[in-house]
């Protein structure tokens, strides 16, 4: 995996459930940042209830390390202020050369 192709900075996120005294609230913890290569897979709109929602699917390639290898389908990434959900656990590329993440974004903003 050539360093020049890793041209997008992504933030790796892990979902946490915190009890605020009344209910459980979903929060996101930053695991770290990595450089990634990003390629579009699909995009469009879906009907939801009475409205429509746009979505974008991407394939992200990151270098393999202990953090990227430990991601699960419950984790997420943030790219340029938008949160993307992982669609499946990371796929290993080569012999620990890299990982591929299949992600889907729905336009939800994310800020640290």
Residues 38-68 pLDDT 10s: 898 876 655 666 666 667 888 999 999 999 9
Contact status, residue 104 vs residue 33, Cβ threshold 8 Å: no
Compute the distance between CA of residue 47 and CA of residue 55 in angstroms, rounded to an integer. Answer: 11
- The predicted pLDDT at position 47 comes to 60
- Number of structural domains (the chain) is 1
Residue ranges, the chain, pLDDT below 50? none
Compute the distance between CA of residue 63 and CA of residue 100 in angstroms, rounded to an integer. Answer: 9
- The predicted pLDDT at position 77 comes to 94
**CA dihedral for 79, 7, 39, 69, sign (positive or negative):** negative
- The predicted pLDDT at position 17 comes to 85
Q: Which domain holds residue 69?
A: 3-109
Q: Which CATH number do you get for residue 27?
A: 2.40.10.270
- The predicted pLDDT at position 86 comes to 93
Report if pTM > 0.85.
Answer: no
Contact status, residue 111 vs residue 100, Cβ threshold 8 Å: no
Tell me the helix, strand and coil percentages in the chain, rounded to 5: 5, 65, 30
């Amino acid at each position: 995996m050539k360093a020049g192709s890793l041209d997008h900075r992504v933030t790796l996120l892990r979902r946490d459930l915190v009890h605020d005294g009344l209910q459980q609230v979903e929060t996101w913890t930053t695991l770290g940042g990595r450089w990634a290569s990003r390629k579009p897979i699909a995009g469009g709109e879906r009907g939801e209830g009475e409205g429509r929602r746009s979505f974008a699917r991407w394939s992200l390639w990151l270098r393999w390390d202990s953090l990227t290898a430990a991601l699960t389908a419950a984790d997420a990434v943030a790219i340029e202020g938008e949160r993307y959900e992982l669609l499946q656990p990371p796929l290993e590329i080569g012999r620990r050369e890299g990982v591929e993440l299949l992600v889907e974004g729905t336009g939800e903003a994310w800020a640290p």
